[in-house]
Structure 1
Amino acid sequence: MKLQHGLGGLEGLEGFPLDYEKRVFVEDWEKRIFGIHAAMMGLSASLRDSVPGYDLDAVPTTFNTTWTWAHLRSGAEAMHPFEYFKFRYYEKWLGGISAYLVEQGYLTQEELDAATERFREQPQAQLPDRDAEAVDEQVLDYLRRGDTPRRGPATPAFAVGDEVVVRNPPATEHTRLPGYLRGHRGRVERVFEGNYSYFVSTGGDGLGQPMSVYIVRFEPDELWGEETERAAGPLYAELYETYLSAGSTRDGNR
């Protein structure tokens, strides 16, 4: 099954319009959505484990759960496919953030609907004004220092030069595996230092616990067959170990 957020390489999409918009933010409200996401990242409970020194207990906020890029992606990608294709990029972000806040009990759907209706009727209405100096300081500290999903030393099952085959795990609500790579052979070009966690479990997809990550090289003929363009170069993909199985090595052994 192809998921709506993993259509790369799917045939029959020639008639769909392409948008080459290069601006990061097209509307002012998109900047606010990005800011909300950044603030949630800077207050996420996951920072207690990723980087020492974030004093989250000193920040006067009721936000006390984990929010990462994984949650943003999985929330947006859980949207109904028709809704996913209908909305713009930051509208998908807004959908994922809103669903998360309701799911975690920070607000109710009724409160969200009422606020939406209020600002539709009064677009210039003032937003709630709260003393957020300590929150701002924490978010700025996060933006300066960041965090990391790295968890301990690497324990790779594959080495540089190994041939691997991309697995075809069951489709779930979220994946980091491009659909067009499934079932294809590639060769390991690099093994990243350290194991890397993924902050949400994708169930049958295999992501969640820390594991090794690789850069895998795919030859164009392997991926596109007779449709390969002349002088096409190789494709490189960063893939979690759970997405790979052993192929033949350089000397032909398994």
Structure 2
Amino acid sequence: MNGIHDMGGLHGFGPVIQEDDEPVFHSYWESRVFCITQVLDTKAIWNLDEHRHEIELMPTADYLTSGYYGRWLFAMERLLDRKGILMAGEVQRRVDEMHDGTTPLTAAAPGARGWPLREECKVRWGAWRHEQTVSPRFAVGDRVRVRNIHPESHTRVTSYARGNVGVVDRVNAEAWVFPDTRAHYRGENTQAVYGVRLSATDLWGPQAEANTSVFIDLSEDHLEPA
């Protein structure tokens, strides 16, 4: 989908600031969100691409101000709420009970709020590829055009490349999962992935550095013959 998360090639965000001896986490809460997310990723609640799409639904101002782990927290809270596992506001109510000190904390009954998940409700986090091969449609040296698509659903093709023509530089013929459909449980649609070489001046015009190429990995369904 088109949104602020697709920032490649955009102007106006200033220089990338590099920190000397940058810490892994800038705040304690970031480490907690990282750990919680890693645990939940093993519980078969959502798949990788579904989680990524949820981040894409974040309001623009929140996306720009929440930071990397704030976006993880946003997606985690929304997915848990939508799947009936941890409802919006429930955590805050528990925090209020703890601070109050007079209201007893009671554990949820087994099966409440959709947890634990029944086996038929569990989903695979999902590997990027499977140990099998597919028949690639394109070969090294083929001229291809990046499809000019603007879906409201998840897509892994960046906006600045759409509609541009490049050359296949590498063919990954393993069976790679198609994130655009797996994010919405419309199948894994395994296919080849290609390393496509595009001219920087084709992407950004004469102000781009001359004689420079940009290499982008693209799924077969993102390409068409040029």
For Structure 1 versus Structure 2, the TM-score category normalised by the shorter chain is 0.7 to 0.9
SS at structure 2 position matched to 1:72: helix
State yes or no: 1:243 paired with 2:216. no
Choose which of 101, 105, 111 in structure 1 pairs with 2:84.
Answer: 105
Identity, % of aligned positions = 30
The equivalent residue for 2:72 is 93
SS of alignment partner, residue 192 of structure 1? strand
Amino acid at match of 1:20: Q
Q: CA deviation at 1:149?
A: 2.8
C-alpha distance in structure 2 between counterparts of 1:15 and 1:198, whole Å:
31
Distance in 1 (CA, whole Å) between partners of 2:5 and 2:187 is: 17
Deviations 1:131-170 (A, max 9, x none): xxxxxxxxxxxxxxx9623233122111111111011112
1:28–1:36 CA distance, 2 compared to 1 (3 A) = same
**Partner residue of 1:214?**
194
> Structure 1: which amino acid aligns with 2:42?
G
Structure 1 residues 75-94: aligned runs within 5 Å: 75-94=54-73
Match of 1:34 in 2: 34
Q: Judge conservation of contact 1:72–1:96 (CA < 8 Å) in 2.
A: yes
Q: How has the CA–CA distance of structure 1 residues 207 and 246 changed in structure 2, closer, same or farther, with 3 Å as cutoff? A: farther
Which of 170, 173, 186 lines up with 1:193 in the alignment?
Answer: 173
TM-score of the pair, normalised by structure 1: 0.68
By how many angstroms is 1:5 displaced?
Answer: 0.9
Residue aligning to 1:71: 50
The corresponding residue for 1:20 is 18
CA RMSD in angstroms, aligned pairs only:
3.1
3-state SS in 1 of match to 2:160 = helix
Report the CA distance between 1:15 and its aligned residue: 5.7
What is the one-letter code of the residue matched to 2:158?
P
Q: Where does residue 208 of structure 2 map in the other structure?
A: 228
Question: 1:228: Cα distance to partner?
Answer: 1.5
Q: Work out the number of aligned pairs and report it.
A: 200
Deviation of 1:171 after TM superposition, in Å, equals 3.2
1:120-135 to 2 correspondences below 5 Å = none
Structure 2 gaps of 5+ residues are 101-124
Counterpart residue type for residue 38 of structure 2: A
Higher strand share: 2
Cα shift at 1:43: 2.9
| Greater mean deviation of Cα atoms: 147-156 or 82-91 | 147-156
Instruction: Assess if the C-alpha contact under 8 Å between 2:145 and 2:163 holds in 1.
Output: yes
With over 3 angstroms needed to count, the CA separation of the structure-2 counterparts of 1:209 and 1:15, relative to structure 1, is closer
Question: Per-residue deviation at 1:229?
Answer: 2.1
The alignment partner of 1:194 has SS state of: strand
- 8 Å Cα contact 2:47/2:183 also seen in 1: no
2:141 is aligned to: 161
Cα shift at 1:200 = 6.2
Deviation of 1:180 after TM superposition, in Å, equals 1.0
Equivalent positions of 1:144-183 (< 5 A) are 148-151=127-130, 152-183=132-163
Q: 1:118 to 1:96 in 2, by over 3 A?
A: farther
Query: Which position in structure 2 is the counterpart of 1:127?
Result: none
